[in-house]
Amino acid sequence: MTWALCFNCGATKFGAICPCPECKYGSTGDMNLDIAFRDHRFSKDTLNAFGAVVASIRRVCQDDQLRFWSFIHYVSTRHPDILGVKIAAEQRERCESIIGRANPPPVAVEESGRAKLLRDFVTRRTDGEVETEPDSGGN
């Protein structure tokens, strides 16, 4: 059983690349991203919390692409250990202003039981792979 986050509407759906039952949105086209937000890695509560972030962005942004990138920007700046994505400077500013208006509820990230078990193993393999840079001046 795999629950995954819908990046489009914030619903939790069954299967990472299956169409969302709420909005019919399927894969992001980026498999790494599709599988990043699954209950293999996070608790269902955490997926729901990220879903609330997507939903809050959706309330202030009707543009699918921009909404998607705003969420990615949110995760890569607020939770850089999950996702490190480099976004062009002007796009970052637009995303940041959308997040400012959306005012999403904070997410308490909680790993799934399985993720905890696998952590030692995975840490060794993915350490240093995620691209993050200290944010100079953002906040």
Q: How many CB atoms lie within 10 A of CB 2?
A: 12
16 touches Zn ion (CB under 5 A): no
CB of 47 to Zn ion, least distance (A): 12
- What distance in Å separates the CA atoms of residue 139 and residue 121, rounded to the nearest whole number? 33
State which of residues 3, 4, 5, 11 lies at the interface with Zn ion (CB under 5 A). 11
83 touches Zn ion (CB under 5 A): no
State which of residues 4, 5, 16, 20 lies at the interface with Zn ion (CB under 5 A). 20
Binding mask 42-81 for Zn ion (x = CB under 5 A): ----------------------------------------
9 or 47, CB closer to Zn ion?
9
CB of 36 to Zn ion, least distance (A): 16
Orientation angle between helical segments 89-102 and 44-60, nearest 10 degrees: 100
CB of 57 to Zn ion, least distance (A): 13
Q: Residue 6 in contact with residue 23, Cβ under 8 Å? A: yes
Q: What is the DSSP string of 29-90?
A: S-HHHHTTSBTTTB-HHHHHHHHHHHHHHHHH---HHHHHHHHHHHHHHH-TTT------HH
**Binding segment toward Zn ion, per CB under 5 A, in 20-28, 82-90, 109-117, 123-131:** 20-28
CA 71 distance to own-chain centroid: 6
Contact set with Zn ion (CB under 5 A): 6, 8-9, 11, 20, 22-23, 25
